[in-house]
Structure 1
Amino acid sequence: MCLAIPGKLIEITDENGLKMGVVDVNGTKTKACLEYVPEILPGQYTIVHAGFALKIIDEEEAAESLKLWQELIDSGAFEPDEAPPSPDAVI
């Protein structure tokens, strides 16, 4: 299953001429390509899918999306090995 989950940009780097970043998604840090959102700044939120930051979103939209993800997880909508990390998870 593919998911697009909001995360907060922590750091911007350059890798082989590509704008890359470290994004915190529910406490899990992941690397993402930032080429689709070149104006993004650390501290802003983005939607990440398949290693690409696709859209800048505001903090309110990110919080609402994460709340909905948690409701899906709590409802049992995912098999245990499919569920995205809980906001409280330590990974």
Structure 2
Amino acid sequence: MCIGIPGQICAIEGLQAKADVNGIRRDVDLTLVGMTDEHGQSRLGQWVLIHVGFAMSVIDENEARETLAALQNMFEVEPDVGALLYGEER
């Protein structure tokens, strides 16, 4: 099964970005979604769905928060989901 995790873009340098996922900053490649949206606005502050280090799509904040809440509920019964939410170190 493949799963993406929502993250909010908090820094951009070229096509590389940092995304905040539950307080953990992750490296994200923006090649698939671009550094700017269709209006030329920076992706900074936008939410993206991240899979294997790539931003796969841009999602809205409500969808992102609902997905994070669902993953948190999954974590309560399946601790392996914690690596997605909190990083490998947990």
Measured in 1, the distance between the counterparts of 2:57 and 2:46 equals: 10
Deviation larger for 56-65 or 33-42: 33-42
User: What is the aligned partner in structure 1 of residue 56 from structure 2?
Assistant: 54
Deviation at 1:73, TM superposition (A): 1.2
Aligned-pair identity (%): 34
Stretches of structure 2 lacking an aligned partner (at least 5 in a row): 38-42
Matched pairs, number: 80
43-52 or 2-11: which moved more?
2-11
**TM-score, normalised to structure 2's length?**
0.78
Aligned residue for 1:42, secondary structure, equals: coil
Q: 1:70: how far off? A: 1.0
- Runs of 4+ in structure 1 off by over 6 angstroms are none
Corresponding position of 1:84: 82
TM-score, length basis structure 1 = 0.77
- Bigger Cα displacement from structure 2, 38-47 vs 57-66: 38-47
- Look up the match of 2:6: 6
CA RMSD of aligned residues (A): 1.9
Relative to its length, the structure with more strand (as a share) is 1
